[in-house]
Amino acid sequence: MSEAKSELPSQRAAADDLQRYEQLWAEARQVHGVSLGRDAWRRLRRNPSAMLSLTILVVLSILAFLTPALPLQSPRQVETLRSFAEPTSEHFWAPHLQTPSAQAEGTNDEQWAAFWRDVDLKFGKLDAIEKLLLQARVAVFGPYAIGSICGTDELGRDLLSRLFWGARVSLIVGVVATLVSLVIGVSYGAISGYMGGRVDNIMMRLVDVMYSIPFIFVVIFIISILSEDSIKAWLIDHGIDRITIFFFLVGAIYWLTMARVVRGQVISLKHEQFVEAARTLGAGRMRIVFRHLVPNLFSVIIVYLTLTIPRVMLFEAFLSFLGLGVEPPDVSWGLLANEGVRVITPVKIYWWLVVFPGIALGVTLFALNFFGDGLRDALDPKLKNR
């Protein structure tokens, strides 16, 4: 009995402990169950401006993708009789396409042939998906298109339609080129910064060397070289056009900045305790860099990303200005902004040619920035589980 007596308090204490540990364990399990991504999404949802921006970006991307299916006029059909027409609500919903109908002459096949000829005239060569979307458009909207509510440009082309078709080019240019630069830049910078010493030295000197070549020169020269007849024919045979070259050139240029920034951050982070801890636990170098360091850099990376996309888009505009960007009749927002600025003179201001492309660029970049800020906050590991 005495034994039992003597054991009693300690048993009780152990049971208490067990209960407490179980409780803690349950809590911990609960906490652990939230992954970084899900946690971030939870916090992102609570940020109204970020959600609004996200909505804008998603809607914009969908609209850009669906452009051929929207009831818009031709982005390239020249109608000089209405050049520099002011925005108007007249003919707000007017027939624009030559769609087959029961009243028209000719058999159905002939009508469809005529329709595709008309489409070719108004939209140029389309790929399979675009054709499908166009057929969907005819099915839903018939021959109708929205009038020139944003006015027309010098050659009488509908600005609204050009904005939509331009969005396709500009968004793809911005996103793809930036992603290229992101992937190269982050891995390069993180590795260089973490390795330190000789490796870092050589890697960063290499960046310095490349950085020191004025890239405007390189872009001008490379694009000129690639437009030589023989080289161009070869590239076209391999399905590479100017825009593709542009992605890689720009990506190859902007990664340098990214690499430097990431390296700087890694250097200041790598003496932190959590890195030491990971190392003590035997984590490999690559695991430390990509599992532990890079997530800590998300805030900086994302801010840079939201800064780089607009820069790429503006750089595309600058190249258009030099005659090396998108080739007409294709359009991009940069091209439209350039055309708009040309008509701001003290003598006459065709305001709609500046204002609408400006709004399009502005809204997109606004959304990108606020979404980037929201994402930054959401992804910050220091704020995790709060």
CB of 361 to other proteins, least distance (A): 5
- Min dist CB 224 to other proteins, Å, is 5
Q: How far is Cα of residue 198 from the mean position of the Cα atoms in its chain?
A: 36
What is the smallest separation between the CB atom of 246 and other proteins, expressed in angstroms? 14
Cβ closest to other proteins, residue 69 vs residue 301: 301
Query: Tokens 């009243």 map to which residue?
Result: 103
Residue among 146 and 368 whose Cβ is closer to other proteins: 368
Q: In angstroms, what is the minimal distance from the CB of 370 to other proteins?
A: 8
Do 185 and 257 form a contact (C-beta atoms < 8 A)? yes
Q: What is the DSSP letter of 82?
A: G
Residues 281, 258, 247, 224, CA torsion sign: negative
| Cβ within 8 Å of residue 20, ≥6 positions away | none
| Rounded Cα–Cα distance for residues 213 and 244 (Å) | 22
Shortest separation between residue 80's beta carbon and other proteins, angstroms: 3
Q: Which of 301, 322, 305 is nearest to 246 (CA)?
A: 322
We find the least distance from the C-beta atom of residue 139 to other proteins, in angstroms, to be 26
Closer residue to other proteins in complex, CB, 25/234: 234
Residue-wise DSSP of 288-350: IIIIIIHHHHHHHHHHHHHHHHHHHHHHHHHHHHHT-SSPTTS--HHHHHHHHHHTB-SS-B-
Tokens of 127: 């790929």
Q: Among residues 67 and 77, whose Cβ is nearest to other proteins?
A: 77
**Residue 359: other Cβ atoms inside 10 A:** 12
Helix, strand, coil percentages for the chain (3-state, nearest 5): 75, 5, 25
Q: How far is CA 97 from CA 123, 139, 146, in A?
A: 11, 12, 12
CA–CA dist 314, 338 (Å, integer): 10
- Closest contact distance (angstroms) between CB of 146 and other proteins is 21
Q: Which is nearer to other proteins, 166 or 340 (CB)?
A: 340
Residue 253's nearest CA partner among 194, 200, 319 is 319
Residue labelled with tokens 């399990």: 29
Least distance between other proteins and beta carbon 10 (Å): 40
Q: 87 vs 329, which CB is nearer to other proteins?
A: 329
Report the residue number, 164 or 339, with the smaller CB distance to other proteins. Answer: 339
Taking the complex as a whole, how short is the minimal distance between the CB of residue 258 and other proteins, in angstroms?
A: 11
> Residue 277 or residue 322: which is nearer to other proteins going by CB?
322
Q: Which is nearer to other proteins, 211 or 290 (CB)?
A: 211
